[in-house]
Structure 1
Amino acid sequence: MDTLLQAAVAAHRDGDAATARAHYERVLALDPGQPDALHFLGVLRHQAGDSEAAIALIARALARAPRHADIHNNLGNIHKERGDAVAAEACYRRALTFQPGHFTAVGNLAVALEMQGRLDDAFRAYGLLLTVAPSYAHGYHLLGLFLRNHAREVEHGRQAAACLRRAWELDPDNLRALAALGNVLYMLGEHDAARQVYRDWLQRDPESPLARHMLAACGGADVPARAGDAYIRSLFDSFAGSFDEQLLQHLDYRAPQLLAGALGAALDGRRGLDILDAGCGTGLCAALLRPWARRLDGVDLSPGMLARARRRGGYDALVEGELTAHLEAHPDAFDVVASADTLVYFGDLQRVCAAAHAALRAGGWFGFSVEALDRGAAAGDGTELGPSGRYRHTRAHVRTALVAAGFGDVRIEPRDLRNENGHPVHGWVAVARRGDG
């Protein structure tokens, strides 16, 4: 039975879910209470999107092995990923009761406390993590992001940069830490240092789409017309697993809700619509768009994000692809095209707006959010690539692109889309109607 369990774990680690599940179930046929098989089968079920079954299986594992810290920790992870930070915290504290030096549980506890807005408690937990595991690269990364996201003064930014630099020194493959380091340095006004981070990165990896794009974002290279497909795929694949947690819990991300509100007002009670979530990511918009949908499709460039969207559910189809090309390939196919914070990776919006217009049926609505380039009330048509790697747009540019594409009834409202570096990110939420036909 031990050999069979080892084979199950190896298949699970290699991503062969079907083989892993079959082996776990064979172990449980021999010993229905085997805690490791119940535990890992529960994790597998959660990864497949069935969190309720996962929690039930792990509860059975804990009945057999109540002092098993790893099982408590993974049960906490399931609660955390479901957004229940209080239940997650309780699990992590139980793990630490039985194994005080369980540093991953300490890190997870810090995240759960941060999710609850208990920032002082979270900061102490992050500090404890680095005391327990002083060479844990991910711990420095987590603390660096915490300090960046909740910076109240310049010193917090400097501390964030030190943590992110240390995270990368301990784990040179952690490119997210390097990208965040450059961003923090730029926000601190250390523009040359930020550009040097990306130049050094390109010296080691001349083909890196992440480094090339971020160097341009910091003013060290020509600005591309839009973020390249390879950059988008690399960026979002790299943090698909923590995307929802970072945006929803740490950055107060509200673009999906704001966009859904604007579309709901425009649709005025219409139902039974064919809807495309263009740049669907992990599927945060699915539940918001579903009430209006007869059919809800999603398209995204990142396989990692699409895997998360499949686990979340709510879509009739999910397609891996670039959204402009997908729109151009599906003329007159949709009643609504929604794009929450995806067009921030486009400079000039004219082509994507024209593609959305062509993909909509007569009377259909296009809704999206972008970050605002604030040049005052008289701002003209303009775009700018910011140090975050995202583009900002003037209101005039958004309106001009929509009107040029043939849209009417254009509505553009100023909204704060998220928090970042301790400040709100100002944006536009736009909806417009295709009126011909």
Structure 2
Amino acid sequence: MQLTQFSSGDVIADRRADYARMLAESGDPAAAAELMEQALELAPAWAAGWLRFAEYLEKAGNGDGAITALRKVQELDHEEIFGARLKLALLGAIDVPDQPPSRYVEALFDDYADRFETALVERLDYSVPEKLSALLKRYRGECGPFRLAIDLGCGTGLFGVEIRSVVERLEGFDLSVNMLAKAEEKGVYDFLARADLSLDAEGSGLFVDGLSPHRADLLTAADVLMYLGDLEAPFSLVSKLSDRGAYFAFSVEDAGCDDGFHLAPSLRYAHSEAHVRRRLAAAGFDVAELERTVIRMDGGKPVSGILFIAVRKG
């Protein structure tokens, strides 16, 4: 995440923070942490500075110090933009939350929107839209177009481009207004609106402006559920949006374990097949098809995922 608030308002503190960043980038996080601590003495209410301080301390092997700094971030960051809870969970200081803070996810993608496609597709070899669309088309065969598709967490519209030719009407929803603006530029959606998939139906934004429940015969969530943790709430929303016999095409990062889900160092959630199947069944869906595949690269290493096609029970 780019720290869009990385200015303390104090010129000297900012200068010391810049020097600290250069030290960290040169491979000396301990010296960076020492200089960052001096900056924070001048700007003690600087949440983004405490977050950077925690990062340097962790890289220097001072986990306890990093935890203390992250608790200071929590104290100062009332909107949870910086996701301190997730980082504390990775350090073992608290239990892994079932969902990330919505403001953290929103801020992350608002900041990421302008470079999202370049970073994801060109540098990280992101392949979910093409692979998931191909799996859906193979499973469904030569049927007519879907009447109404809802692309949940549509982002910049990469998956919308892939399925536009097989749908009559395409709606897209995302938490980030900047990502929605990028999706609108593609001209493939009939309707776009902001929505929060971690909330209940009333608060989610998926049923505003007269949009009715049980209206879609295709629901999609490409590279979205790794920002949602426990899938009970989002799958319940999908159930409320879907008509009988509707298809649900989505991806998860593969947890590689027998059950449950976990928070990865990337601050994304990875899910087991068993957790997905259990939450789907509770929401009224049967798994029709799945495919294990590499969905992107991260730090030069392949990230394993699972692509699902599920069908709403009639």
TM interval, short-chain normalised: 0.7 to 0.9
Q: Which residue of 2 aligns with 1:317?
A: 191
Q: Which residue of 1 aligns with 2:7?
A: none
> Which structure 2 residues correspond to residues 5-404 of structure 1 after superposition, within 5 A?
158=27, 182=55, 191-192=63-64, 195=67, 198-218=70-90, 219-273=92-146, 274-323=148-197, 325=201, 326=204, 329=207, 330-375=212-257, 379=258, 381-404=259-282
* Higher helix content, 1 or 2: 1
Which residues of structure 1 form unaligned runs of 5+? 1-134, 145-155
Q: How big is the shift at 1:398? A: 0.9
For residues 411 and 338 of structure 1, the distance between their equivalents in structure 2, rounded to whole angstroms, comes to 14
Q: How big is the shift at 1:213? A: 3.4
Query: Which one-letter code corresponds to 2:289 in the other structure?
Result: R
TM-score (norm 2): 0.75
Q: Which residue of 2 aligns with 1:412?
A: 290
- CA RMSD in angstroms comes to 3.8
Are the counterparts in 2 of residues 334 and 359 from structure 1 also a CA contact under 8 Å? yes
Which residues of structure 2 form unaligned runs of 5+? 1-15
Q: How big is the shift at 1:204? A: 4.5
Query: Which one-letter code corresponds to 1:341 in the other structure?
Result: D
Secondary structure of the corresponding residue to residue 263 of structure 1: helix
Are the counterparts in 2 of residues 395 and 412 from structure 1 also a CA contact under 8 Å? no
Query: Which one-letter code corresponds to 2:224 in the other structure?
Result: T
* CA separation of 1:328 and 1:320: change in aligned 2, threshold 3 A: closer
Q: Does 1:435 find its partner at 2:307?
A: no
Query: Which one-letter code corresponds to 2:121 in the other structure?
Result: L
Secondary structure of the corresponding residue to residue 281 of structure 2: helix
Larger radius of gyration: 1
Q: How big is the shift at 1:347? A: 2.0
For residues 341 and 183 of structure 1, the distance between their equivalents in structure 2, rounded to whole angstroms, comes to 29
For residues 250 and 182 of structure 1, the distance between their equivalents in structure 2, rounded to whole angstroms, comes to 24
* CA separation of 1:211 and 1:432: change in aligned 2, threshold 3 A: closer
TM-score (norm 1): 0.55
Q: How big is the shift at 1:262? A: 1.8
Q: How big is the shift at 1:334? A: 0.7
| Residues 151-181 of structure 1: CA deviation (Å, up to 9, x unaligned) | xxxxx9x5899999999x8xx99959x57x8
Query: Which one-letter code corresponds to 1:242 in the other structure?
Result: R
* CA separation of 1:163 and 1:201: change in aligned 2, threshold 3 A: same
* CA separation of 1:164 and 1:278: change in aligned 2, threshold 3 A: farther
* Higher strand content, 1 or 2: 2
Are the counterparts in 2 of residues 366 and 433 from structure 1 also a CA contact under 8 Å? yes
Q: How big is the shift at 1:359? A: 1.6
Are the counterparts in 1 of residues 29 and 56 from structure 2 also a CA contact under 8 Å? no
| Residues 121-161 of structure 1: CA deviation (Å, up to 9, x unaligned) | xxxxxxxxxxxxxx9x7xx79x96xxxxxxxxxxx9x5899
Number of residue equivalences: 281
Secondary structure of the corresponding residue to residue 285 of structure 1: helix
For residues 186 and 64 of structure 2, the distance between their equivalents in structure 1, rounded to whole angstroms, comes to 42
* CA separation of 1:184 and 1:422: change in aligned 2, threshold 3 A: farther
Q: How big is the shift at 1:429? A: 1.0
Are the counterparts in 2 of residues 399 and 410 from structure 1 also a CA contact under 8 Å? no
* CA separation of 1:335 and 1:348: change in aligned 2, threshold 3 A: same
Are the counterparts in 2 of residues 199 and 215 from structure 1 also a CA contact under 8 Å? no
For residues 212 and 161 of structure 1, the distance between their equivalents in structure 2, rounded to whole angstroms, comes to 21
* CA separation of 1:398 and 1:204: change in aligned 2, threshold 3 A: same
